[in-house]
Structure 1
Amino acid sequence: MKKVGHYGGKFIPFHKGHLYAITKAAAQVDTLYVVVSYDEERDRRLCAEAGLGYIDYRRRQQWIMTSVKGMPNVQVIAVEDPPWVDETHMWLEGGRRMIDAIPENITHIFSSEHAYDHWFRQIYGEDVQHVVIDEARTIFPISATKIRNEGVYANWDMIPEAARPYFTKRIAIVGVESCGKSTLTRNLASLFGTEYVEEYGRTVSEAVGDGSSLLTEEHYQEIVYGHKHLEFQKLKKANKLLFTDSEAVVSQYYAKMYFGRELDFIEGVIGSQAYDLYLYLEPDVDWVADGFRTFSDPAVREETNRTLKRMFDERGIPYVSIGGDYEARLDQAIAEITELLRH
């Protein structure tokens, strides 16, 4: 007789305890159906109460599918929960929906609670085996409720790799030339033990070999799209935070400086950006020539600084101004980032 298992939950959020249970269950049956149950109104409320952005059930489903891609006998589906009437209706009607959604006869139900046995018997009958996995949570001492109560970052080690990019905070370090962006970006990434994205405009300029003045519109396409591609790759490996040296508004600023106009395709990239924090570095440190910088005159630096700030303001993008010497900049940045991780 074929063994068909069922393991379900809301997975708000998905954690390593869930993944452990799925892995254990999959080893005991021929086919395991993991069911993501959802109710948008309830799920939005749970996320809001935990200070999380709304985690759509499709995203939860994708996290699990990515995490179990090496388990060919696991299938991940989603089932909408019935409207709340009372606990009995929730369990019995919800169970009926599970049975309808799973195209095979269920022989095994997996959970982490013996107390669920009462409901499973009513829903699936006496012949279905209820297997409880790590009820005491000794292997992975975690629950979704604990994460929602304490925060994702306090329980970061319990978040599976597939889900981490969603929760990673993205921080853009911006400003005009020679204000210390690259140095601060590298230092912050090192201090917080995470990844950073280098300024891709510099990479392209160095390949051209004669600075920004010779860059064409095609080069700017390479800069903004290449930068975003790099960012998404680094996001997969980041540890809570991802630092980015410059972004599309800064690219648009340089286009405006050298072409005398803004480029439409860059504006599209700006509209799609999603940074959690902008640290704007004031140009109040010494200007350093490196063969690629142009605006050394103090009056010109001040004017270009006003121009870039205005570009952020016009687009409704808030930023935190960081100034002073290099030590002061570092201290201000760390304070802002520490506050960001509290949310």
Structure 2
Amino acid sequence: MNERNQDQQRSVKRCTYRTGFFGGKFLPFHRGHLDCILRCASECEKLYVVLMHNGTEEREILANYHDPFPVEHLSRETREMALRSELSPFDNIQVLAYDCREADEWALEQGKHPWFYECQDMVKLMGHFDVAYSSEPEYSECFRMFYPWADAKLVDPGRTRTPISASAIRRMPFYQAYQHLPLEYQKRVNKKVLFTGPESCGKSTLVRKLAAVLGTSFTEEMGKLACEKVKLPSPGAALYPGFVFAQKMADMRAVETANMVALCDTDAIVTEFYLELYENRTLPLVFETAKANSWDKVFFVESTVPWVADGIRTSPEQDIRKQQSEKLKTMYRELGYELTVLDGDYRENYEKALDEIRSLLGYEDGEE
């Protein structure tokens, strides 16, 4: 080997460890966790990140849960998928999920240290790793006991880089906790709000106003856009299945890009309503799609504002507008939807909807 190659080889700084282990409940997974994981991964050829779920401590926390952060956002699936998605760009990181319950109960029954069988299982999962990371000094003591061959290394124990903890986040209302969650976690906990109602009720304008003031994403009514393009009340029955799928895809994109809450203008039930009204047809997939939807809140906007002629709307008579409104509400209620009715003028509907959404996000009256 010539001198130049020797110099180049000496200049390459290799990873400190071949394999590392970083475990936790991630209840929830937050930006502090993410920072620590990426720092650890930077000194390991391979880092195992293990979601240790369903353990004794986690079950106790969730069984007596009264904190403001929504408990549904602490599910194992949400935590695991957020970890996997957030860390997927990094080839040297592998995420594993481990159910602690059996090992914990077996250790309790045998009178052994609570981590005794958990730690045995970690070795079965990963082999003899070279370093076990933790932010808690007491965890390092356990690591030295159960993994004597590995370094027990503390990472940001004082939380000076990202001064936040999972327990502190759980004590926060949703809107405060949100900023501490990684992007992939946010995507999975963004709220989804549906606005629906008959024609010319002011719904679409209301959605745009609320999205603007909340600084978030919204969807438009796909069927309405198609009707406006051809300037007809209905563009033909053959296009309606496409409206259902396009609306669903638009809603999914809006949720992924939302700032805490996505505002969705109509859904499959409205598509079915207009298919029956204008084409005298029904579409079975509509109800299956509607049943699969999961909304955090559904606003039904009544036709209490003036009817506006736009070239495609057809029912200016107030009694017909009322009949259509009642039929549409019935369709939702038959599927078990709980509706928050907006039946005021433009300003009243805007203010009520905004107050309701802010409450959904955890704001209290008068809080900014």
- TM above 0.5: yes
Within a 5 Å distance, the mapping from 1:50-199 to structure 2 comes to: 50=67, 51-53=70-72, 55-81=74-100, 82-84=103-105, 86=108, 89-102=113-126, 104-125=127-148, 127-199=149-221
Who is 2:313 aligned against? 293
RMSD (CA atoms): 2.0
Tell whether the 8 Å contact from 1:6 to 1:35 is kept in structure 2 after alignment.
Answer: yes
For residue 326 of structure 1, report the CA deviation from its aligned partner: 1.0
Cα distance in 2 for partners of 1:45, 1:210 equals: 60
Cα contact 1:79–1:101 (8 A) shared by 2: no
Q: 1:215 aligns with which of 236, 254, 271?
A: 236
Contact 2:236 2:279 in 1 (8 A): no
Q: 1:23 to 1:266 in 2, by over 3 A?
A: same
Residue of 314, 319, 330 corresponding to 2:339: 319
Deviations 1:241-271 (A, max 9, x none): 0001111111121122123343201111111
Aligned residues: 339
Deviation at 1:40, TM superposition (A): 7.6
* CA 1:254–1:332: 2 relative to 1, 3 Å: same
Output one character per residue of 1:156-175: Cα deviation in whole Å (capped at 9) or x when no partner: 11111111122111111111
Partner of 1:255: 275
| Rg larger in structure | 2
**How is 1:38-53 mapped onto 2 (pairs within 5 angstroms)?**
38-39=53-54, 43=58, 46-47=61-62, 49=65, 50=67, 51-53=70-72
Residue identity matched to 1:97: D
SS at match of 1:150: coil
Please tell me whether residue 15 in structure 1 is matched to residue 35 in structure 2: no
One-letter identity of the residue aligned with 2:91: P
Match of residue 232 from structure 1 = 252
Residue type of the partner of 1:162? Answer: E
Give me the TM-score of the superposition, normalised by structure 1: 0.93
Deviation at 1:55, TM superposition (A): 4.3
TM-score (norm 2): 0.87
1:245 aligned residue (242, 265, 276)? 265
Code of the aligned partner of 1:110 = Y
Contact preservation (8 Å) 1:199, 1:227 = yes
* Alpha-carbon spacing, 1:236–1:54, altered in 2? closer, same or farther (3 Å): closer
In the alignment, the residues of structure 2 paired with residue 279 and residue 41 of structure 1 have an alpha-carbon distance, to the nearest angstrom, of 40
- Name the CA distance, whole Å, in 1 between partners of 2:235 and 2:189: 39
| Cα distance in structure 1, aligned partners of 2:330 and 2:55 | 39
Change (3 A) 1:118 1:234: same
Does structure 2 conserve the Cα–Cα contact (< 8 Å) formed by 1:205 and 1:215? no
SS in 2 for 1:290: coil
CA distance in structure 1 between the aligned counterparts of 2:167 and 2:187, rounded to whole angstroms: 20
The 1-side partners of 2:352 and 2:17 are apart by: 61
Q: Which moved more, 1:194-203 or 1:33-42?
A: 33-42
Would the alpha carbon gap of residues 309 and 203 (structure 1) be closer, same or farther in structure 2, given more than 3 Å must change?
same
Distance 1:119 1:232 in 2: 44
For residue 41 of structure 1, report the CA deviation from its aligned partner: 8.4
